[in-house]
Structure 1
């Protein structure tokens, strides 16, 4: 599933490519991709003639704000979603779900193999949180001033959950997922199955610092492509080539050469170094 660095990469790409271009029309090829409104006709009529003034990211959500207070376009890529900026006459990818047409023969395609991704049109005079209710449950953004070691300490105290599952909780830190939770815990020297309430404040400070550093490095690399992720121009992310532990089961730790191990925590594959994270 695309995580914060991948969604941020898409957001930045869309801000470079799609701003101030009026939507001339579109096509909904799979209606269940629409979360709101559920009617393809209502969705297409509502966004026709609108131009996106800016894109922003909230957790793993993409929010395109239309100019002149004409609403918002919301997207969640889920597991396999892609937003691709392409020519209208280019052959459709097999799993194209929604097409939005722009001037100069351009279009924005939502491609999604597993069909878990969702798209919303937030009608004018409504706030995105009213329609995209998942936004209401998100915790702080990692790069925001509100994400401090003290905030993390408050969230960890008295929690009997493992650190891996806690970092995956979008109500704690928005945008972290399976890949970067593993990376952050490795860089912090914390076992993924450590109980949250047992961490010292020094460990929490290290955790806070590495959340920011790992995510920024991944953004700089354009995210991670292990299966489906592409940026809007169809380019892979490059973080996977420098990952510390994720996807490296049995390979030597980049620090101590101990083989990286993989375990299951809360049903998720979890990678760690038994020597560096003890």
Structure 2
């Protein structure tokens, strides 16, 4: 599943190619991919003729701020439009890639991939193509009179973004101090911190020298501080590498991420630790694989 670095990589790629380019229509090949509105025709008609002002990321969600030309009537709370703008809000396009979703920026004549679900047509014969093998991905159109979280219910449950001021050491410590969950399980909780997933949780724990089964309530302040610092550092490093490709993640240009080649522990069970040479191990926690070094993480 794409995690925060992969989604951020896609967001930055979309900002480079889709902004201020009119949407000229589209095609929905799998109707249940569109979560809102319930009518595919309404979804496409609401997007036709609008432009994308800017892409935003919240946790693992992508949100495109939409505008049309004309006299400004109102601005939503989250709008980035300047007060002097002669464009008006046209709502939001929300996307969640889930397990296998890809957003690809292609020429409209490119042959369709087998698992193409939604196509959005742009000027100059370009298109944004949503490809999703497992079909769990979703798209939403949010009307301009609503905030994204009014329509996309999952946004309401998200904890702070790891790069935000809200994700402070004090906040992190308070959330962990009374929890009897293993720390690996806690790190995957999107209500604790948004965007962290299985790959980078393993990497964070390794760099923090914390065993994945350690109970949150047993962590000392210095361990929590190491974890907090590692979350930010690991995610930033992965973003700079363009994300991780262990299965089918591609950026908008169809290029693999590079972080997998330098991972400390994830998917490296049986291989030597990059620091001490001990054979790395893998265990299951709450149904998820956890990779760790038994020497470095005690």
TM range (shorter): over 0.9
Residue of structure 2 equivalent to 1:55: 55
> TM-score w.r.t. structure 2 length?
0.93
In the other structure, the counterpart of 1:94 is 114
Cross-structure match for 2:162 = 142
Counterpart of 2:232?
212
Cα deviation for residue 187 of structure 1 reads: 0.3
Matches within 5 A, 1:222-233: 222-233=242-253
* Residue 188 of structure 2 corresponds to residue 168 of structure 1: yes
Gaps of 5+ in 1: none
Q: Does 1:264 align with 2:288?
A: no
Map of 2:5 onto structure 1: 5
Report the alpha carbon displacement of residue 124 of structure 1 after superposing the two structures with TM: 1.6
* Alpha-carbon distance in 1 for matches of 2:208, 2:127: 43
- Per the alignment, residue 116 of structure 1 pairs with 136
Q: In the TM superposition, what are the counterparts of 1:169-188 in structure 2 within 5 Å?
A: 169-188=189-208
**What do residues 236-269 of structure 1 show as CA deviations (whole Å, max 9, x unaligned)?**
0000000000010100000011111011000001
Secondary structure of 1:71's partner?
strand
Correspondence 1:194 to 2:214: yes
Instruction: State yes or no: 1:159 paired with 2:179.
Output: yes
| Whole-angstrom distance in 2 between the partners of 1:270 and 1:206 | 19
1:205 CA drift (Å): 0.6
Secondary structure in 1 matching 2:129: strand
Structure 2: gaps of 5 or more residues: 68-87
- Matched residue, 2:294: 274
1:79 maps to 99
Question: Cα offset for 1:223?
Answer: 0.2
Give the 5 Å matches for 1:231-246. Answer: 231-246=251-266
Aligned length: 278
* Counterpart Cα distance in 2 of 1:150 and 1:29: 47
* SS of equivalent residue, structure 2 residue 277: coil
**Residue 38 of structure 1: CA displacement?**
2.0
CA distance in 2, matches of 1:249, 1:83: 31
User: Runs ≥4 in structure 1, deviation > 6 angstroms?
Assistant: none
Output the CA distance in 1 between the equivalents of 2:278 and 2:34: 47
Render the CA deviation track for 1:221-246: whole Å, top value 9, x for unaligned.
Answer: 00000111000000000000000000
Whole-Å Cα distance in 1 between the matches of residues 297 and 35 of structure 2? 41
After TM superposition, give the deviation of residue 123 of structure 1 in Å.
Answer: 1.0
Q: TM-score, normalised by structure 1?
A: 0.99
